[in-house]
Structure 1
Amino acid sequence: MTDNKKLVKKLNDLAHKAKAGTITKEEEKEQQALRKEYLQNFREGFKSQIEMMRVFDKEGKEVTPDKVRKIQREKGLRDD
């Protein structure tokens, strides 16, 4: 199981405990930390996807925003 799947499973387990009213203070703190870690991982992955993306119009002309092109050049993902 990947780290992200383990993270989601643990978050779900804690959410069920919270809903049932059996969560402890320590588990609540752990839940907050895990949520923070999950969001950080999600944002990093999403940012990476956006930075790798190339956008084309209906005629096949690239219309990737200049800001994204600049980031791609800095990371060596473009050679134009």
Structure 2
Amino acid sequence: MIKMTEELLNRINELARKSRTEGLTEEEKAEQAELRQQYIKAFRQGFENTMSNVYIMDKDGNKTKVEKKKK
């Protein structure tokens, strides 16, 4: 599991600020893309973990586990 560390978020924000002010080199653009992918992956894992512990209770008190929507 990938963790969203403060260091990761700070670097993402640093690169975003730099891209708005002075632009990024090709290496920095590649790093930014990789960091964004790591962030998205970590967010999705955390969200899925949270949703795996969510139940919906109907008016009769029956609990139903939330399942992934089928496409």
TM-score (norm 1): 0.69
Is residue 2:43 matched to residue 1:35?
no
Is residue 2:18 matched to residue 1:17?
yes
Task: Note the C-alpha offset of 1:59.
Answer: 4.2
Deviation track 1:5-64 (CA, whole Å, cap 9, x = no partner) reads 211111000000000123211111000000000000001111111111122124432133
Report % sequence identity: 30
Task: Point out the structure with max Rg over C-alpha.
Answer: 1
TM-score (norm 2): 0.76
**What's the secondary structure of 1:63's corresponding residue?**
strand
Aligned length: 66
Q: Which has the higher contact order (CA 8 A, sep 6+)?
A: 2
Answer 1 or 2: which has greater helix percent: 1
**Which ranges of 4 or more aligned residues in structure 1 deviate by more than 2 Å?**
57-61
Answer 1 or 2: which has greater strand percent: 2
